[in-house]
Amino acid sequence: MAALTASIPPAVAQDRASHRDDLAADLRALADRRGDVDAFMILSRPSILRRLARMIAETLPVGIDRLVGSHGQDDALVSAVALHTGIPFAVVDTASGAVHGELHVSEKVAIVRTRRAAGEGTLEQRLEELGAHVVTSVSVLAAESTASAGDRALFGAADIAGPVVPGRAA
Amino acid sequence: MTMVQGAVASVRAEDVEVLIREFAAMTEPGPGVTRLAYSRLEREAHAVFARYMRELGLIVWTDAAGNTIAELAGQDESLPAIGTGSHLDSVPEGGSFDGVAGVVAALEVARLFVHGDVRNVHPMRFVVFAAEEGARFGQACTGSRIVAGLTTSSDVGTLVDNDGVVLADAMADVGIDPRRVEDAVWRRDDWAAFVELHIEQGSVLTEVGARVGIVDVISGSTRLRIDVTGRASHTGGTPMHRRADALAAAAQVILTAEEIANDAEHRGTRITVGRIEVGPGSITTIPGSAHLFVDVRDIDSDRQREAASQLIAAAYGVGEERGVGIQVEMLADASPAVLPLWVRSSIARSASGLGVDYRVMPSGASHDSQMVNHVCPAGMIFVPSQNHGISHAPEEFSRFDDLALGVDVLAASLLDLDARMQAESQ
Ligand SMILES: [Zn+2]
């Protein structure tokens, strides 16, 4: 292999495609036999959380004031992205509508979540009521139902279902 | 005797011991066991395995990579197979248990299933992989890499041992056609799951008092060569402030590596400089060159590369500070891999069912099952290593009753997987 040059650290880093493939393989390893992934199963592993945070961070536009997630399932994910980017966060209890952490009128927020539940729109609605402006919304896993416009998912069903083995899914 | 899954008797420690000793006797002269990859002795050991399996009535074949596979028919031959096994080659002057434990486990499970008249639905395959140890050709898991399609016929022409023997020639010497290794590749639809039993090669299990380990993640490894170039000159004639001592700089890099791995952000990172070459190598000459061979292992994928980057940056810093040249080459890079949860759950459930204390733990070393996991979901059972976990040395030891218990858990796990996958397919 070639000697490493001035771009030393990036040369050790994996290329984007194999980084993504490895992460998809780890997610598949934690899926059940039907290909369903439990959020806590993946978010409780630092190696996975770290990589997800990095991938999500790379999708965020500049100018985001705050990250927002659903309280409970996505606490760990939002914290990890906050640590990775330095952007503060708040979590919203979608059942009660309570906001944990600061969130102010007219702030530009990015929603970060593991997976949008089918038909879930509550978090967006609550943020609208609070006067926040949702700039972007990123999910780790694509929703079962068709995602709304502006929703980005890092991994689709084809990445997670299929053989529970490393390498690109069929 | 306890019963496994209510159907199979448990394995006897004495039987395990007899087999371990039989394989240990097949060695080159000298301390410990020396049975190198693609050597005549390795083939002889495979033949012993094949003979025992044929005696049990199993169908046995050797594939194009030199792996030996024995099949016990299932009730439904249209189903993919469930496999278990390990390797029979060793490092030079190694121990009697590394790899052999998993092969003996496969033999004992086959005996349990045949004598216990177990009605497995999926075919069961017992596998001895060839050339698992990287000691001879610098590449670990050659036999299993071939079945996973990760090593090809063109690759075997490029690897060379310390005596200059090319891997392809070593294979040909023991009757394996290196041009046909692709014939050994496993089809994904032909394998349902694989579980390997292996000695831990560490001391976690004995320290916590658990008798079985279940591997949840296999470490990755980034390997670097760091070349330090200084100025060779007379040790008497060169004052300290005029020196560019490559070895002193290398020493600073090594200590930095240790510091990085000991940092609070690196629980689970291991950095080792296992080899160093110094030139010109004279007591009266200041070292002009030093080559460091660095192994960065981690269970955390990004952190592994970050630790390697950190070390490289530190090495360049040392070079600047001491006026020596630094050049870095990446020799190899493999990611850590999480093993499939549902296979792991089967093993955990089986251990609990037998009342066996288990610990979920990472594997620091790479194993055949890591390669097999590219074909079908794989799991690993660790059996405690005694003598502070020493391995790859004659002092390597595992208790025979621990091994027997591990085999019980393995047998129960294979049957649990058989039953679960059968239930799901209906
Ligand atoms: Zn081994």
The angle formed by the CA atoms of residues B6, B7 and B9, to the nearest 5 degrees, is 95
Indicate whether B326 and B344 sit together in one domain. no
Cis peptide before B280 (omega within 30 of 0): yes
A21 has a chain B CB within 8 A of its CB = no
CATH number at residue B107: 3.40.630.10
User: What's the CA-to-centroid distance between B389 and ligand 1, angstroms?
Assistant: 13
C-alpha distance from B329 to closest chain A C-alpha (Å): 5
Q: Model ipTM?
A: 0.86
Chain A CA closest to residue B343? A29
Cβ count near B164 (within 10 Å): 7
Residues of chain B with pLDDT under 50: 1-7
CATH number at residue B243: 3.30.70.360
Question: How far, CA to CA in Å, does B149 sit from each of B87, B128, B153, B154, B335?
Answer: 18, 17, 10, 12, 17
How many structural domains does chain B have? 2
- Per DSSP bridges, beta strands A108-115 and A133-141 are parallel
Indicate whether B245 and B349 sit together in one domain. no
Q: How would you write A12-80 as a 3-class SS string? A: HCCCHHHHHHHHHHHHHHCCCCCCCCCHHHHHCCHHHHHHHHHHHHHHCCCCCCEEEEECCCCHHHHHH
Which chain A residues have a beta carbon less than 8 Å from that of B309? 8-9, 12-13
Of B299, B327, B338, the CB nearest to A29: B338
Subunit contact B338:A30, Cβ cutoff 8 A: yes
A118 has a chain B CB within 8 A of its CB = no
Subunit contact A29:B341, Cβ cutoff 8 A: yes
Residues 128-167 of A with CB under 8 A from B: 163-167
Token duo for residue A164: 């529970």
C-alpha distance from A161 to closest chain B C-alpha (Å): 13
CB B218 within 8 A of CB B340: no
Q: State the pLDDT at residue A9.
A: 47
Alpha carbon distance B229, B319 (integer Å): 9
Of B302, B316, B340, the CB nearest to A29: B340
- B382 within some domain: yes
Token duo for residue B174: 């023991």
Q: State the pLDDT at residue A151.
A: 72
Residue B130 identity (one-letter amino acid): A
- B258 within some domain: yes
Of B308, B329, B375, the CB nearest to A165: B375
A14 has a chain B CB within 8 A of its CB = yes
Beta bridge partners of B14: none
- What is the value of pTM for the model shown? 0.89
Indicate whether B51 and B190 sit together in one domain. yes
Would you kindly state where each structural domain of chain A is located, as residue ranges? 16-158
Subunit contact B376:A163, Cβ cutoff 8 A: yes
Long-range contacts of B266-269 (CB under 8 A, 24+ apart): B266/B298, B266/B303, B266/B307, B268/B298, B268/B299, B268/B300, B268/B303, B268/B362, B269/B296, B269/B297, B269/B298, B269/B300, B269/B303, B269/B304, B269/B307
Subunit contact B313:A9, Cβ cutoff 8 A: yes
Count Cα atoms within 13 angstroms, Cβ side, for A126. Answer: 20
Residue where one domain finishes, among candidates B319, B334, B349:
B334
Indicate whether B231 and B212 sit together in one domain. no
Indicate whether B23 and B149 sit together in one domain. yes
B185 has a chain A CB within 8 A of its CB = no
Count Cα atoms within 13 angstroms, Cβ side, for B294. Answer: 34
Indicate whether B399 and B309 sit together in one domain. no
Residue where one domain finishes, among candidates B300, B317, B334:
B334
Indicate whether B68 and B147 sit together in one domain. yes
**CATH for A16-158, among 3.50.50.60, 3.40.50.2020, 3.40.50.970, 3.90.1560.10?**
3.40.50.2020
Indicate whether B163 and B39 sit together in one domain. yes
Indicate whether B296 and B341 sit together in one domain. no
- B1 within some domain: no
Indicate whether B243 and B275 sit together in one domain. yes
Indicate whether B285 and B311 sit together in one domain. yes
User: What's the CA-to-centroid distance between B99 and ligand 1, angstroms?
Assistant: 4
- B84 within some domain: yes
Helix axes of A46-59 and A75-85: crossing angle, nearest 10 degrees: 60
Looking up tokens 């434990």 gives B101
Domain of B225, in residue numbers: 220-334
- B119 within some domain: yes
The H or E element spanning position B4 is strand B3-4
Subunit contact B301:A51, Cβ cutoff 8 A: yes
- B288 within some domain: yes
C-alpha distance from B105 to closest chain A C-alpha (Å): 25
Indicate whether B170 and B181 sit together in one domain. yes
Token duo for residue B253: 């890099």
Q: Under 8 Å CB-to-CB from A122, ≥6 apart: which residues?
A: A94
Q: State the pLDDT at residue A48.
A: 97
A11 has a chain B CB within 8 A of its CB = yes
- B8 within some domain: no
B374 has a chain A CB within 8 A of its CB = yes
Residue where one domain finishes, among candidates B334, B367, B395:
B334
- B74 within some domain: yes
User: What's the CA-to-centroid distance between B133 and ligand 1, angstroms?
Assistant: 7
Chain A CA closest to residue B330? A1
pLDDT in tens, chain A (170 residues): 444 444 444 578 888 899 999 999 999 999 988 888 899 999 999 999 999 999 999 999 999 999 999 999 899 999 999 999 999 999 999 889 999 999 999 999 999 999 887 656 689 999 999 999 999 999 999 876 555 556 789 998 888 875 544 543 33
